[in-house]
Amino acid sequence: MTRRNRGILIVVSGFSGAGKGTIVKELMKRHPDRYALSISATTRSPRQGETDGVEYFFKSREEFLAMIRDEALVEYAEYVGNFYGTPRAYVEEQLAAGRDVILEIEIQGALKIKKRFPDTLLLFVTPPSAEELKRRLVGRGTEPMEVIESRLARAIQEADGIEEYDYLIVNDVLEECVREVHGILSQEHLRVSRNLEAIEEMRGELRHFAKCREGKGD
Amino acid sequence: MTRRNRGILIVVSGFSGAGKGTIVKELMKRHPDRYALSISATTRSPRQGETDGVEYFFKSREEFLAMIRDEALVEYAEYVGNFYGTPRAYVEEQLAAGRDVILEIEIQGALKIKKRFPDTLLLFVTPPSAEELKRRLVGRGTEPMEVIESRLARAIQEADGIEEYDYLIVNDVLEECVREVHGILSQEHLRVSRNLEAIEEMRGELRHFAKCREGKGD
């Protein structure tokens, strides 16, 4: 049976500070032939140290609107006045080449993608406990109240669609967590729903074999 | 987050001769604390070398009918004049203790169980290719035509509900296959749908925390 011919589209979301960026980076480093990281396009200005094509593809508003018009984005959203989106060409190219493509986006974009491409796998990354999450939200306790409040509000918002996700990734020990995620992504290729062609093929061959035997052929 | 508190009910089915019995036996041997094997009850007579409580629980027809009446079976079926069924008590006991319970049953029973317990995980085991399956059906080619025909008919029947299964297990190299199945079963505990309580708990704590801060408490 031929399995794992096509890559899986994977969305990684999670609480801020849960370490999703680090997990994704480690996955890419350890299995560069297995995974491809999708880089978002954005209209926001590069921050110091950011390079076009590394953190983001930096686009003008006109360029971004043209991408929307040309359906060159898998999904996009506007966030505090700037556009963010996932360029389609790279995603399709990598999936066709059998690589799993990882998108690191927030929950709204994730649900949009899942709706449009139901085969997408959604992972939600969380710290090991609510206590730990609180600790990260509060930080050293030296930040202004507003910063903490806004982080907390964001966390509540981030937690709002977890039920729509496929897997809950608890990031306690990074090393274990990365191995766990790699395991999940590998096993996911063995899902029946991702192997329907191979199954139909085997069934066809069985039927063909039965027919040949009936006709005493083979 | 507290995860993996309850075991998963796992049904292993597959083509005859695909090696599902061996896979299950190896899983049990390597991880006796993680898995429990459900032993079926049957009204058929023990064959030479079979022991009550090892291969099957051997029951009289009266005893079996009483089990049906008392709802002491998770599922049962009649097959060439004999009853086969899965005793409920053992399954529930082991699941509650956090052990994954493995049932090795055919497709009809599997679908019945999945319908009744939607959380059940269904694995279908197949040889590496249709060619290989044919080879196993034909055997050494010395068997009477009827035997081969009946095996073939059975394989076609066995292939009939694969789409309802969750994972397709290709048994090529046993060692790899057992590791693969153990991986699948471990990752399955990380599914969002199996961790809804933990998620609700974390969300509740976040909300509680927000409320405390609003009241400047905490």
CATH, residue B156? 3.40.50.300
Contact between B107 and B158 (Cβ < 8 Å): yes
A103, A107, A112, A117: CA torsion to nearest 10: 50
User: Which of B159 and B169 is assigned the larger pLDDT?
Assistant: B169
pLDDT in tens, A116-156: 999 999 999 999 887 888 888 787 777 788 888 888 888 88
Which amino acid type is present at position B19?
G
For the ranges A100-104, A123-127, B141-145, the lowest mean pLDDT is seen at: B141-145
A140 in a structural domain: yes
B2 in a structural domain: no
Three-class DSSP category at A89: helix
Backbone CA torsion sign across B127, B133, B135, B137 = positive
Question: Encoding tokens for residue B4?
Answer: 């993996």
B124 in a structural domain: yes
Spell out which residues of chain A touch residue B166, defining contact as CB-CB under 8 Å. Answer: 191-192
- Average the pLDDT over A199-217 and give the result: 78
DSSP A4-52: --S--EEEEEE-TTS-HHHHHHHHHHH-TTTEEEPPPEESSPPPTT--B
Chain B nearest-CA distance from A64, in A, is 35
Spell out which residues of chain A touch residue B149, defining contact as CB-CB under 8 Å. Answer: 213
A133 in a structural domain: yes
Spell out which residues of chain B touch residue A128, defining contact as CB-CB under 8 Å. Answer: 1
Q: Do B170 and A134 touch (CB under 8 A)?
A: no
pLDDT in tens, A14-54: 988 888 999 999 999 999 999 999 999 999 999 999 999 98
Q: Which residue of B has its CA nearest to A127?
A: B1
B190 in a structural domain: yes
Put simply, whether the predicted model's pTM sits higher than 0.90 gets the answer no
pLDDT in tens, B119-138: 999 999 999 887 888 888 78
Spell out a b/e string for A20-44, using b for 16 or more CB atoms within 10 Å of the CB, else e.
beebbebbeeeeeebbbbbbbbbbe
Q: Do A190 and B168 touch (CB under 8 A)?
A: yes
Spell out which residues of chain A touch residue B185, defining contact as CB-CB under 8 Å. Answer: none
Q: Do B209 and A152 touch (CB under 8 A)?
A: yes
Interhelix angle for A174-188 vs A20-30, to 10°?
Answer: 70
A16 in a structural domain: yes
- Average the pLDDT over B173-184 and give the result: 95
pLDDT of the residue at A218:
46
Tally of domains in chain B: 1
Which of B3, B137, B163 lies closest to A192 in CB terms? B163
A 10 A CB-CB count for B189 gives 18
A113 in a structural domain: yes
Q: How far apart are CA A57 and CA A180, in angstroms?
A: 30
Q: Do B199 and A156 touch (CB under 8 A)?
A: no
- Boundaries of domain holding B194: 9-37+100-214
Residue A216 pLDDT level (bands cut at 50, 70, 90): low
Computed over every residue of chain B, the mean pLDDT equals 89
Question: Encoding tokens for residue A99?
Answer: 């690589």
Q: Do A192 and B159 touch (CB under 8 A)?
A: no
pLDDT of the residue at A133:
83
pLDDT at B175 over 60: yes
For the ranges A5-19, A179-193, B181-195, the lowest mean pLDDT is seen at: A5-19
